[in-house]
Structure 1
Amino acid sequence: MALSMRHHAGAAAAAFVLASLSLVATFSAFAAGPAPARSADRPATQQLASTQASARIAKPDASAGTSKATTPDPQSRRSTRTAPQRGDIPPDFLGVDRDGRPIKVSDYRGKLVVISFWASWCAPCRRELPMLSALQAGVGREHLQVIAINLNEPRRDFDAFLKLNPSLEMSHIRDAGTVARHYGVTAVPNLFVIDQRGAIAQVHRGYSPQQLRQFAEEIAALLPPEALKRPAAAGKQTQ
């Protein structure tokens, strides 16, 4: 009986991984779509100059498909050393959502929480967001909460991007750099997976299609079997 249950759980996890892998086409279509006209469309040096020194972010290398961090100054090095790692309890407060409600990691204790720091000018971020949205819609909010934190962009750019992409199924927060500093974020995308006990289970910096299978397997391993057997319909789960 125990062997049979492990077999079914493994099969469900495998199905989840394969479903996640099928979203690669979605990433490409999303990344190729129109982007809002925004003040962030400036040379990378100007973009970096406008970012707080304690939360510097790098313009992604489009040819490589991943984001890379700039060489940190002493202040950002201190931030990196104190960045939460696997097994740590992360900073609780994440900011306020678009409705002005404060959001904390502890609000979702008992659920898997995925936090992604992103920016609209970041091409890898634009490939990652629809994957996270499909993950949220497929698993449902009963077992999973995806929180996308926009890093240090003007409000008009943040709002314009979300207006162009209304189907992104996740909670949205705009951060001026304070939350990113506490999380030791020095480049985007930067993703944290927090388990049901509130501890960091995985950390991913940068993005590439090759990371997709690893991420899907990690998520499948952390979700309870019932979340993998029958994905929830989008929008029908409550927080």
Structure 2
Amino acid sequence: MIRKIRPALACVLLAVGLAAHAAAPTNPSPKAGDIPPQILGKDREGNVVDLASQRGKIVIVTFWASWCGPCRKELPILGHLQKVIGHDALQVYAVNLKEPRNDFAAIARSRTAPPLDYIHDAKGVVSDEYGIQAIPHMFIIGHDGRIARVHRGYSEQSLPEIVQDILALLPEDVRNRQAGG
């Protein structure tokens, strides 16, 4: 009897170990100073989004989902920053994390959706490359294409620090111009 249990137990333990390994991101999350993975997938028009094409701007890549309350609070703030600062100096990409296309589209196409560039990562390819384990998870990328700051989670208390991190990276002429410039 014990001989039969041991192989069965070993199979169960192996299956659990393989499932845990498969569920974990294969890459560590990039940190400040790193150059992040450059391809974010395709935008809603089907164009490949390549961060290399955004060099010279501040770029925010944030991972979110429709069921994530903190994400749903963060996105309008980022949309407002995008509108006030302008696309010439700031580009925000909101990467949807592993949701069915209908759930993603309901938010991204909503008339009340923040004015952001939305990317659907249904299979988690991009989120795995970025090592995403929890959301919201934001990367602020500087003019040089390197990650300047990483923010995990969102709270009203963290908002001033996030905004300050973004503003500190903007050139003085952008910080001092009229909103939406």
The TM tier, using the shorter chain, reads 0.7 to 0.9
TM-score, normalised with respect to structure 1: 0.64
Contact 2:25 / 2:132 at 8 angstroms: preserved in 1? no
The aligned counterpart of 1:122 is 68
Between Structure 1 and Structure 2, the one with more strand by share is 2
Deviations 1:132-165 (A, max 9, x none): 0000000001111000001111111111112334
The aligned counterpart of 1:24 is none
Secondary structure of residue in 2 paired with 1:150: strand
TM-score, normalised with respect to structure 2: 0.84
Kindly tell me: are residues 110 and 168 of structure 1, through their superposed partners in 2, closer, same or farther at Cα, counting changes over 3 Å? same
Cα distance, 1:76 vs. partner? 5.5
> Which entry has the higher C-alpha Rg, 1 or 2?
2
Secondary structure of residue in 1 paired with 2:109: helix
Runs of 4+ in structure 1 over 3 Å off: 73-80
The aligned counterpart of 1:208 is 155
- Paired with 1:76 and 1:214, the residues of 2 have a C-alpha distance of 32
The aligned counterpart of 1:79 is 26
Cα distance, 1:166 vs. partner? 4.3
The equivalences for 1:198-237 within 5 A come to 198-233=145-180
Kindly tell me: are residues 168 and 78 of structure 1, through their superposed partners in 2, closer, same or farther at Cα, counting changes over 3 Å? closer
- Paired with 1:158 and 1:127, the residues of 2 have a C-alpha distance of 16
- Equivalent position to 1:172, from 91, 112, 118: 118
Instruction: State the aligned residue count.
Output: 162
Aligned AA (1:203): V
Question: Where do 5+ consecutive residues of structure 1 fail to align?
Answer: 1-72
RMSD over aligned CA atoms reads: 1.8
Contact 1:97 / 1:173 at 8 angstroms: preserved in 2? yes
Contact 1:140 / 1:231 at 8 angstroms: preserved in 2? no
